[in-house]
Structure 1
Amino acid sequence: MNAPAGPPRRERPELKPTPQLRPARIVVSLLTCALVIAAGWAAWSYIGTNVLAKHRQGEMAVALADDWKGNRQGDAAKDRVKLGDVFAVLRVPRFGDDWEVPVVSGIDDTALTSGVGWFSDSQRPGQLGNFAVAGHRITNGQPFRKFPELRAGDLVEVETRTHVYTYELRNSGTDTRVDFSEIWVVQPVPEKARESKDQRTSAKPDTALITLTTCSELFHTDDRSVVFGELVDAEHV
């Protein structure tokens, strides 16, 4: 007696060879990924950081104004200011009627993201000597984007807790260009420091100045554009 027949045997499917990527296709894929990453980085650097920085600067300006309410007595030049503190507001009418940014102690990335940074070894606003600040022209809020538009005779205001100081610029935003290593521009008496071998001087200042500095070009550069101004008015608020 024959054994019962089992289920019919299924034919094993024929395995197809795995397609191999051609070298050219691999290169194109890698380049595409690189371009996507680069585009994302650029969008963050030139758009994202500006949005976040401007929002942060606005919050800091509001907080500073609230702190000053009912606290306008005394002399702000004697206030203790630590690195990272916001202690003044800078206004440049040439940049717009509503343009204003916080002034932050220090010139590190945090300070320059929060507004304009103050060279903390320079003088305070209104004092004899040189009140020196730096700001970005691009990214991180780009407060000095319109720096080349500055002209001799333009006014710059610096408001502290107790005073509004008004400076008149001596030169335009494209007149003075220096290497980032030249420190004479932030010294108490810049003209004398420029003549000194080590770019410093012991000359006693007899004028209250302001110095604004920024990158000379929109993208990476070691050069700085500089404008100088002289105090023309000080109003107690």
Structure 2
Amino acid sequence: MSGDLGELAPSPRPRSGPPPGKPDKTQRVVRGVGEALITLGMVVLLFVVYEVYITDLISAGKQREAAAELDDRWSDPTIGGGEERQDHFGQFGEGEGFAKMHIPKFGADFHFTVVEGTTAPSLEIGPGHYTDTAYPGEPGNFSVAGHRVGKGAPFNDINLIESCDAIVVETQYTWFVYRMVPLEEEKAGWAQGKGKDPRCEGVLLGGVYEGLVGQRIVLPTNGDVIAPIPTDPTSTASAGESASLLTLTTCHPRFSDKERLIVHSVLTNEYPKDPSKPDWRPPAFEEIT
């Protein structure tokens, strides 16, 4: 027989896997896990965006409203101390603003209206006063809580406050200047070292306050930090040695509530507001950086 029939094509071999285009079981599992992780990651990302940015916007609006209401109240001579020009505390409702807090170290734009109470709705407005603690300028421990992440995060950077830095509390009729007390490691040689700074006058406390330090980390269950004498809550100070403290509390570390960051400061100066000088502010504001 003549003619070229050419080469015969080899017979196709049987496939051991699934038909073309159809993943096997392992591939389907891996793909499913991957899709689940991507979905979970998106959910977590959306939660972080909401918690950090959206709640900030919501709280900023509430803070503006609280500040405006406080300014209106302060401008009304029939409210508050009136002709006495004396601050009266204790008549505030939950979430109602009654003071303003300035920290010059954080710049001229750092100021928050402090509200009464530490419930979740109150802290969404701004820093909240522990209702069973002293008020500004009073002997004892004026204690204020604030969020560190989200919801305005007023206390996000309070770990950056250093000894002798000013925390100024403004009320209707008075400016109160508190300054952070020394850290534990600063106390030795204080008088020969940082204590020489004029800003540091009066911040190193003795007597029943001897163990007080500027910053510390505690468990959330440690309520002693807002006691009148935080280092020894069972003690009482005589009228002559009683100090006026300001304590700030916030969550630690950031994005966690496992612990609390505590900042202790003491009242060093008090200035009555002068109606004839409405724009006057304490010298501590010159420390704005």
* Structure 2 length-normalised TM: 0.67
Which residue in 2 is equivalent to 1:191?
231
Residue by residue over 1:145-204, the C-alpha shift from the partner in whole angstroms, topping out at 9 and shown as x without a partner, is: 1112101111111111221111121136984111111112101122332xxxxxx44445
What root-mean-square deviation, in Å, do the aligned CA atoms of Structure 1 and Structure 2 show? 2.3
Q: Which residue of 12, 21, 34 corresponds with 1:28? A: 34
Deviation at 1:208, TM superposition (A): 1.2
Which residue in 1 is equivalent to 2:17?
none
Matched, 1:126 2:162: no
Which residue in 2 is equivalent to 1:101?
112
Counterpart-to-counterpart distance in 2, 1:24 and 1:180: 42
Deviates more, 1:204-213 or 1:178-187: 204-213
Which residue in 1 is equivalent to 2:281?
none
Counterpart-to-counterpart distance in 2, 1:215 and 1:30: 31
Counterpart-to-counterpart distance in 1, 2:148 and 2:90: 30
Query: What percent of counterpart residues are identical?
Result: 27
Matched, 1:155 2:166: yes
Which residue in 2 is equivalent to 1:176?
216
Unaligned runs of 5+ in 1: 1-18, 194-199
Counterpart-to-counterpart distance in 2, 1:216 and 1:35: 24
Q: Which residue of 67, 72, 80 corresponds with 1:66? A: 72
Deviation at 1:57, TM superposition (A): 1.1
* Structure 1 length-normalised TM: 0.81
Unaligned runs of 5+ in 2: 1-21, 184-212, 274-289
Counterpart-to-counterpart distance in 2, 1:137 and 1:174: 18
Deviates more, 1:73-82 or 1:126-135: 73-82
Deviates more, 1:200-209 or 1:151-160: 200-209
Which residue in 2 is equivalent to 1:84?
95
Counterpart-to-counterpart distance in 1, 2:46 and 2:168: 37
Counterpart-to-counterpart distance in 2, 1:89 and 1:35: 39
Say how many residue pairs are matched. Answer: 213
Counterpart-to-counterpart distance in 1, 2:163 and 2:69: 33
Distance 1:153 1:50, change over 3 A: same
Which residue in 2 is equivalent to 1:225?
261
Residue by residue over 1:6-28, the C-alpha shift from the partner in whole angstroms, topping out at 9 and shown as x without a partner, is: xxxxxxxxxxxxx9994444433
User: What residue identity is the alignment partner of 2:119?
Assistant: D
More strand by share: 1
Counterpart-to-counterpart distance in 2, 1:157 and 1:94: 11
Query: Residue 215 of structure 1 aligns to a residue in which SS?
Result: strand
Distance 1:120 1:25, change over 3 A: same
Which residue in 2 is equivalent to 1:211?
247
Matched, 1:54 2:60: yes
Asked if the contact 2:55/2:150 (under 8 Å) is kept, the reply is yes
Query: Residue 168 of structure 1 aligns to a residue in which SS?
Result: strand
